[in-house]
Chain A
Amino acid sequence: MPEVRAFIPNYQLTTPASLADALALLKNEPGVWKPFAGGTDLMVLLEAGRLPHRNYINIWGLDELRGVEANDTHVTLGALTTYTDVQSNPILQSEFPMLCQAASETGGLAIQNRGTLGGNIINASPAADSPPALLAYNAEIELVSSGGSRWLPYHGFHTAYKQMGLGADELLSRIRLPRNTEGATHYYRKVGTRKAQAISKICLAALGRMSDGQMSDTRIALGSVAPIVVRCVQTENALRGQQPHAKTIAAACDTLSREISPIDDIRSTADYRLQVSKNLLADFLMQLH
């Protein structure tokens, strides 16, 4: 059947007065409702006739889900933090530059003003730009329901392509980053189809810290090379306590190639994604000393 525009009159977008009301709706009518934030992903699907789900809760106006707060140990961002909000926050700029870089490379300004971190996480595209940075920064996420709330590590939240550990009555409400990036090397590189407004072919977010000439804390996250964004734990293990010289780097690249599973698709090839992932890893490691 041809993919043509959706039948707009069939869609519901209801605006709850508060977060509590939104959560009540999710609890009382399980499976019926999905959240709708900035719409930068959902509206594209709607217009292409590829949005089968019809009933949405408009959470865009819920201030409880906005705001960036910091204490000594963490920075906490509301799920509705936009990419523009991210880039304009001085603490994020100085301590979490990869997140700011990812935000600046997500679409153009008009998208950045509307796209949200929460939407990005829940949309769960393996090509998303911010999730690799969140993984490398050991982000945690808070899920709320009318029954309460829980924090969990973002790493492990995505279980398979577009599958995640989110209950039917839960909403993502906050993202928390531990403030322990001082002295680290941050390396973020998104390789897309063009310099701006591009879906990534490969996206690497890596963090490295040295101690006595050895790699003490290396975090490697990649997008667009697997059905979900991945934290490359085996590669990190292979690097721990090593010095970043040529042999180690080659071995790490080898481990990496077994830890990711890039594919051929409409934008790129498995071979290209694999090779460039290895190049980016090597480039990152060469910057550590």
Chain B
Amino acid sequence: MDHPIGKSFPRKEGRKKVTGAALYVDDLSFPDMIHGVTVRSPAARGKIKNISFEGDLPWDEFTIVTAKDIPGANYVALILNDQPYLAADFVNHPEEPVVLLAHKDKYLLEEARRNVAIEIEEQPAVFTLADSLAKKEIIWGNDNVFKKFLVDKGNVDEAWSNADFIVEGEYETGAQEQLYIENNGAIAIANSSDGVTVWGSMQCPYYVHKALVKLFGLPEEKIRIIQTETGGGFGGKEEYPSLIAGHAALLAWKSGKPVKIIYDRAEDMVATTKRHPSRTRHKTAVTKDGKLLAMEIDFAIDGGAYCTLSPVVLSRGTIHAAGPYTCPNVRIHSQAVATNVPPHGAFRGFGAPQSIFALERHMDKVAQTVGLTPEEFRRRNFIHEGETTATSQVIRERVDMDHLLTRTLQLSEYHAKREQFSKENSATSGRFAKKRGIGFATFMHGAGFTGSGEVFLQSVVSAEATAEGKVKILAASTEIGQGTNTIFSQIAAETLGLDFDSIEIVQPDTGRVPNSGPTVASRTSMVVGKLVESAVTGLKQTLIGSGLLPAQYSEADFKKACAEYVAKFGSLKTSSTYQPPPNVHWDDEKYQGDAYGAYAWAVYVAEVSFDELTYEARVENFVAMQEVGRVLNPVLAAGQIEGGVAQAIGFTLFENVVWKDGRMANNQMTNYIIPTPADIPPIRVYFEENPYAYGPGGAKGIGELPMDGAAPAILNAIENATGVSFNNIPLMPERLMAADERG
């Protein structure tokens, strides 16, 4: 068998998906199943005075659940456990769940939802990051602050006096809706004798498991969570499924019937998590030669009404805030604060797109102030092997951002275009023209959980060989479109020298698979894939050690050995538990040390046009270059980059959440705009390889990387085209209008 790693094996579950045979949660039906809906708070903050059931409806036919019906604890177990499953006395955001209803007739159910009146005695609410930071009202804890970090390297305070230039800037990013095309959904069966089983669209079955254990107060083995085919996640189904799963389970528990809850698009958009809005302030000391002396960064994110994952989003955003540069003095103050909007949560990039946007915009500004080109300024400050990051992590791999930059600028014809656009833009014809510009961003993205996170997770993968010689991979890592099933199959096939089709990926089901950790943080290939490799290695070693398999074997030999082993011993199963790479040290107190085991390094170039007629900016061409350790599957890898860049283009120029009193007012696909096929430019993707010793086949994680670079590259290009500096995204034509002198 040829080595599968590095080849574009077709998607393992591809046939099911193209024939409509793949089963997503709403495609499932159970005997006696009834439907569930969530009745939500109409106000942003206040005391629940009364809940009434109105209209001429047969309320006795409905299953009605409120906080009082919760058998265990009324919170979603995550980090701070401050988010209730159902608001009991007080609500903290619009659309907060208060009442659950279930009935057999889904149309009558909607009629019922219309007729539940929740009366709130309103209290003052805070809706913006600025207001929360200003503590206009204290709405959470003592000071609205979920979490703070301080990174302190060198001595920033002493550096200002040595600076030839001090450059300041403020940058903002807005909320972004994940907009997976499959809405959130769950089906639950629950009773006190058998326990609770939930099927659902999700990224992390064990997160849901942990949450339901607490919700019901049941032992772990009585809760079973099964991931159904999932139509996109992007982080939006990292922690949110715990809430909807719990709701379905509560209704199932009370009604004694299977309950299905499927959100429609409007509900999913208005009620579920979004990317944390951010504000970053930079103050940078630099010499006249363009060398960075000090960076002081103030990074704040809006977490919404409850903590959810804000501390971790904050962490990643903080650690990525100073970028792939060498700077002896760095201080980063960061905080995540509360507002009375539906809680924000995970979205691909997880804090890094926000802080990297600010950084890469700011680096262009610093370059301009010093009188260097954006390119030259970067070259004088790129980090190299042996140098330290903002958290004082020594880079222990060969990194050559210089070369990546040179190659990417060449591939995108950056210099020629910059010159050409400069000439064309200054030619005036008296007519409305299209101005053009080109810009880039240079960045890195750390894969896996931060610091000691992976050790804490203690991820486990199991492998089982059947009597027929098939190998089953048992992991909680979910396929959500990124290619988990295919990658795991390739890794296992390569490690064992077997056919790709001899590998079977078991459906993530907490009743069957061990906890390999959540499907997040760009860790599935790099961290869990490595465990797949070691788990199947264990199978091979067991068979060889038993004398049933020679050291050099064919697929037929392997099948024969499995048959014999299973006949003799009953089963053949191995497990592998995460071991951290050596010499990775992280200090959680000081927020210092080796933040990530591996970084992918990237340069993205965006070419834009700006239409003086309509003030629309459009990305015309895009080049994405990244060094990713090893490309496990070229088609899947390029697919990740292209998809991430498209989402990032949306983040930059299209996706605007319109807030009204803490509620998303444009909660329809008609009015929340993601790019269509007609809006996306040609995206050219290039990879370089520099194998990471602890990733399978040398791979580093890449899932989130493509989210980081497009926004600053595009805004750098828009500044190049128009001469006007914009520092907030999403950047809509209404604001771009200010760029045009005619306007």
Contact = CB atoms under 8 A, between A and B. Distances in A.
Q: CB–CB under 8 A between A and B in the complex?
A: yes
B171 interface: no
B673 interface: yes
A198 interface: yes
Contacts of A93: none
A94 B673 CA distance: 33
Interface string B186-212: 000000000000000000000000000
B679 A195 contact: yes
Interface residues of B, number: 40
A279 interface: yes
A6 B108 CA distance: 9
The 3 closest A-B pairs by CB, nearest first: A195-B678, A196-B678, A272-B734
A279 B111 contact: no
Contacts of B82: none
Interface in B74-129: 107-108, 110-111, 113-115, 117
B737 A191 contact: no
B676 A197 contact: yes
B266 A3 contact: yes
B114 A279 contact: no
A7 B103 CA distance: 14
B110 A49 contact: yes
Contacts, number: 85
B654 A194 contact: yes
A194 B114 contact: no
Interface residues of A, number: 35
B676 A194 contact: yes
Interface in B16-40: 37, 39-40
Interface string A1-38: 11111111100000000000000000000000000000
B613 A280 contact: yes
Given A4-B114, A7-B107, A9-B107, A275 B743 contact: yes
A279 B613 contact: yes
B110 A275 contact: no
11 contacts: A1-B117, A4-B113, A7-B110, A191-B616, A193-B673, A194-B679, A195-B676, A196-B677, A197-B676, A271-B734, A275-B615
A283 interface: yes
A266 interface: yes
A198 B674 CA distance: 10
Contacts of A196: 676-679
B547 interface: no
A276 interface: yes
Interface stretch (B1-9, B311-319, B551-559, B663-671): B663-671
Nearest to A8: B107
A4 B270 CA distance: 12
A163 interface: no
A283 B431 contact: yes
Contacts of A195: 676, 678-679
B614 A191 contact: yes
Contact of B39 (A2, A108, A266): A2
Contacts of B678: 194-196
A272 B676 CA distance: 23
A48 interface: yes
Given A194-B654, A199-B670, A268-B734, A2 B614 contact: no
A247 interface: no
Interface of B: 37, 39-40, 42, 107-108, 110-111, 113-115, 117, 264, 266, 430-432, 612-616, 654, 658, 665-666, 668, 670-671, 673, 675-679, 733-734, 737, 742-743
A49 B114 contact: yes
Contacts of A43: none
A269 B673 CA distance: 16
A282 B432 CA distance: 9
Residue of B42, B266, B666, B677 contacting most chain A CB atoms (<10 Å): B266
Interface of B is mostly: loop
Contacts of A194: 654, 673, 675-676, 678-679
Given A4-B113, A283-B431, A48 B615 contact: no
B148 to A, nearest CB: 35
Given A2-B39, A195-B679, A266-B665, 7 more contacts: A194-B678, A194-B679, A197-B676, A269-B734, A272-B615, A279-B432, A279-B742
A267 interface: yes
A4 B673 CA distance: 22
Interface string A238-277: 0000000000000000000000000000111101100110
Nearest to A269: B734
B107 A5 contact: yes
B615 A276 contact: yes
Contact of A266 (B111, B115, B666, B733): B666
Contact of B658 (A3, A5, A266): A266
A235 to B, nearest CB: 18
A286 interface: yes
A106 to B, nearest CB: 13
A234 to B, nearest CB: 23
A276 B665 CA distance: 25
B665 to A, nearest CB: 6
Contacts of A199: 670-671
A283 B671 contact: no
Residue of A1, A44, A282 contacting most chain B CB atoms (<10 Å): A1
A268 B734 CA distance: 7
Given A2-B113, A4-B113, A276 B614 contact: yes
A103 to B, nearest CB: 16
Nearest to A201: B733
A8 B111 CA distance: 10
B119 to A, nearest CB: 13
A272 B733 contact: yes
Contacts of A3: 266
A217 B556 CA distance: 84
Nearest to B665: A266
Nearest to A1: B114
Contacts of A267: 671
Contacts of B658: 266
B660 to A, nearest CB: 9
A195 B37 CA distance: 36
Residue of A1, A4, A283 contacting most chain B CB atoms (<10 Å): A4
Contacts of A276: 613-615
B114 A2 contact: yes
B34 to A, nearest CB: 16
B264 A5 contact: yes
Contacts of B742: 279
A147 to B, nearest CB: 39
Contacts of B110: 4-7, 49
Residue of B431, B613, B666, B742 contacting most chain A CB atoms (<10 Å): B613
A6 B678 CA distance: 33
Contacts of A198: 673
Contacts of A9: 107
B264 A279 contact: no
Nearest to A279: B613
A157 to B, nearest CB: 26
Given A7-B107, A48-B266, A266-B666, A279 B614 contact: yes
B91 to A, nearest CB: 14
Residue of A6, A49, A194, A271 contacting most chain B CB atoms (<10 Å): A194
A204 B184 CA distance: 40
Contacts of A7: 107-108, 110-111
B62 to A, nearest CB: 15
Nearest to B38: A2
A39 to B, nearest CB: 16
Given A194-B673, A199-B670, A283 B432 contact: yes
Contact of A271 (B111, B432, B670, B737): B737
A145 B432 CA distance: 49
Nearest to B667: A3
A266 B113 CA distance: 26
Residue of A5, A8, A280 contacting most chain B CB atoms (<10 Å): A5
A269 B736 CA distance: 13
Contacts of B671: 193, 199, 266-267
